């Protein structure tokens, strides 16, 4: 992974988490609890202590080769979010999730991260599709797959897991061939 063009001439770096990143991640999450509360079920367990966060990141590092790939989104030394390439939609697919730190939204970070992770997914053997799923009430999250050319394929009811959720999840998808054909247009 590496640097991706970001607004305001700053470089967004999307990379796997390292143990030394824990304090910056901890600060980003603590700064963003209320911002993330409507959409992220895991935020209900916050605030975690620094040692708990170290253990969480250690688990993310351990799962890199065998399952989920969680990445930090960095501008300089500042954590501006997190994105993951998740192994939860079957052997030929990956699902992307993301969040952006409070005060950093609207700058294209989630879109750049999702683009990077889609590229990563389609370099993995056997991966034929990538999906992004979000509750329909989370309009901002839905802008990301739309900008990247994913196609909405279905809406499914789900039990709301966070306070802002409506209980309807929209599923967006892109297939490998379509992604690479469109990728040149995305920059």
Closest-CA residue to 108 (of 134, 72, 143)? 143
pLDDT at residue 8, as a whole number: 47
pLDDT for 186: 72
DSSP letter string over 70-131? EEEEEETTEEEEEEEEE--S-TTEEEEEEEE-TT-TTSSHHHHHHHHHHHHHTTSTT--EEE
Phi, psi of 11 (to 5 degrees): -100, 125
**Cα angle at 50 between 49 and 54, to 5 degrees?**
120
- Give pLDDT tens digits along the chain (187 positions): 555 544 444 799 999 999 999 999 999 999 999 999 999 999 999 999 999 999 999 999 999 988 899 999 999 999 999 999 999 999 999 999 999 999 999 999 999 999 999 999 999 999 999 999 999 999 999 999 999 999 999 999 999 999 999 999 999 999 999 999 988 777 6
Q: What is the pTM of this model?
A: 0.93
Residue 18 dihedral angles phi and psi, to the nearest 5°: -125, 155
Look up residue 162 and give its DSSP letter: S
pLDDT at residue 4, rounded to an integer? 52
Contact 92, 128 (CB under 8 A): yes
**Cα 174 to the chain's mean position, in Å?**
16
CATH code for the domain in which residue 66 is found: 3.40.630.30
User: Can you tell me whether residue 166 is helix, strand or coil?
Assistant: coil
Domain with 99 in it: 3-186
What total number of domains does the chain contain? 1
How far apart CA 74 and CA 93 sit, in angstroms, is 26
């Amino acid at each position: 992974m590496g640097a991706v063009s970001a607004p305001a001439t700053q470089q967004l770096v999307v990379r796997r988490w390292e143990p030394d990143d824990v304090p910056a991640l901890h600060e980003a999450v603590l700064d963003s609890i209320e911002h993330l509360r409507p959409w992220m079920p895991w935020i209900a367990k916050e605030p975690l202590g620094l040692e708990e966060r170290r253990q969480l990141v250690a688990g993310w590092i351990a799962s890199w080769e065998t399952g989920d790939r969680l990445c930090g989104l960095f501008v300089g030394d500042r954590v501006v979010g997190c994105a993951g390439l998740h192994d939860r939609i079957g052997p030929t697919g990956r699902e992307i999730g993301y969040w952006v730190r409070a005060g950093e939204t609207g700058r294209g970070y989630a879109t750049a991260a999702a683009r990077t992770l889609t590229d990563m997914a389609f370099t993995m053997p056997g991966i034929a599709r990538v999906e992004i799923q979000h509750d329909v009430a989370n309009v901002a999250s839905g802008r990301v797959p739309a900008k990247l050319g994913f196609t909405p394929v279905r809406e499914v009811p789900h039990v709301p897991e966070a306070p802002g959720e409506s209980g309807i999840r929209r599923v967006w998808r892109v297939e490998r061939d379509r992604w690479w054909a469109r990728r040149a247009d995305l920059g």
